[in-house]
Structure formats: C-alpha cells, structure tokens
Amino acid sequence: MKVLITGSDGFIAKNLIEHLKRDEDTKLYLYNKTDSLDMLGAYVKEVDFIFHLAGVNRPKDAKEFYKGNSDLTKTITNMLIKENKQTPILLSSSTQSELDNDYGKSKLEAEKLLINYAEQTNTNIFIYKLPNVFGKWSKPNYNSVISTWCHNIANDLDIQVNDKNVELNLVYIDDVVNKFIKCLKFPPSIQIIATRPYKGFFSLTIQPIT
C-alpha cells in the first residue's frame, strides 16, 4: 500500500513513520512544509491512503493558522477531486476545534472541508480531535507541556502552572499511533458517524454505505 504522510517532520508523524517503515508492504511518501505543491500533487495521484498530520500551532501571525491547517486541507481535497480519486484521509485535528480561537477555528475549518470531501466522493475519512499528546521526540516549549516540564526539571528550571484547578487531558503518542494504524489496516466495515472517546481523545469516522 502507498501511504502519504503530510507534516512528515513533525512529532506525531515521526512516531507514525517509525512504526510504518517496518512494514515491507507499505511504501511511504513523505511531505513537509519545505516541499513544493507540485510534489504534493504528484504524491496525491499515487497513494492509497493519506495521513494528514501537517499543521501550524505556534505561528507569529494568526493567518498562518489558516494557511497551514485549513488551506492545505482544501488543497489536498481539491487535488483528489480533480483526479477523481476516492482516497481515504485521516486528519489529526485538536480538541481546540471546539474553542473560539484562531487555532481552533482553522482546525474546525479543516474538519468541515474533510467532511465535505467525504460526502462529495463517498470516501472514508477519519478525524481525530487530539488533546495534549506526549511522548518520545516531542519538543519542549512546542509540542507538549509534559515535555516542557521534563526539560525544565532535568535542567533545574522552574515549571509554570497557569491554573492549578485545570485537569489536563493527556494521551501517549504510541496509543495515538496504534489507533491511526488500525484505520489504515482495519477500516470499519459498516457505516459509522459518531464522535467517541478513546484514551482521552475523540475520533470521528465517516464510512460511506456500500
């Protein structure tokens, strides 16, 4: 199977790649922000499944949220529709897509674009609303507050807790990756339109009726 992973240099993607590269039956196509849209278009034509993990979460300008999250999703779905392809897509979204901030709004737009693509093409999609993901290769002061705290403690630096009454919803990276791979290897055989919790995060799966 040919699999495209966007955001291939990111925290979640690196962990997913480490698992998938051990499978001799899976050929990986890796795309990140330094690659051209022409390369992305060529990959989209080739692959059988897309892990859309690219995203922007800490830009200098709020406009970058939309460029890196919703706009790129629109580009990918438009490419697929133009090629008349019905390629399943898994999107890494965020629990913040329910919040009124630019990051959340851009993620919600990406979710809606993917749902429209599924409805238009009768194709499987998987949307994961991830909370605070932690684990190996996450960057302090960027990917995970857990990584930040571990880094600070190891370097004898103070840790910051903004609100001691807030309970963090955490999920370990391997649990996320294992769930992602199940969508690739064992897609649902019946129609499912539901949002449900799984180890601290939510997934939305849309499976067309065959």
Model pTM score: 0.83
Q: Which of 103, 117, 142, 198 is catalytic?
A: 103
Which of 14-18, 142-146, 192-196 tops mean pLDDT?
Answer: 14-18
Q: Does residue 147 have a pLDDT over 90?
A: no
Q: What is the pLDDT of residues 163-182, one digit of tens each?
A: 778 777 788 899 999 989 98
Mapped onto helix, strand or coil, the DSSP state of residue 42 is helix
Rounded-to-integer distance, Cα 210 and Cα 192, Å: 12
pLDDT at 194: 36
Q: Is 103 a catalytic residue?
A: yes
Domain boundaries, the chain: 2-133+170-206
Rounded-to-integer distance, Cα 200 and Cα 180, Å: 15
pLDDT at 65: 66
Considering only residues 51 and 166, tell me which one the structure prediction assigns the higher pLDDT.
51
pLDDT mean across residues, the chain: 82
Considering only residues 130 and 142, tell me which one the structure prediction assigns the higher pLDDT.
130
Query: In CATH terms, is domain 2-133+170-206 a member of 3.40.50.2020?
Result: no
Catalogue the E-assigned strands of the chain.
2-6, 27-31, 49-52, 89-94, 125-130, 132-134, 170-172, 193-198, 201-206
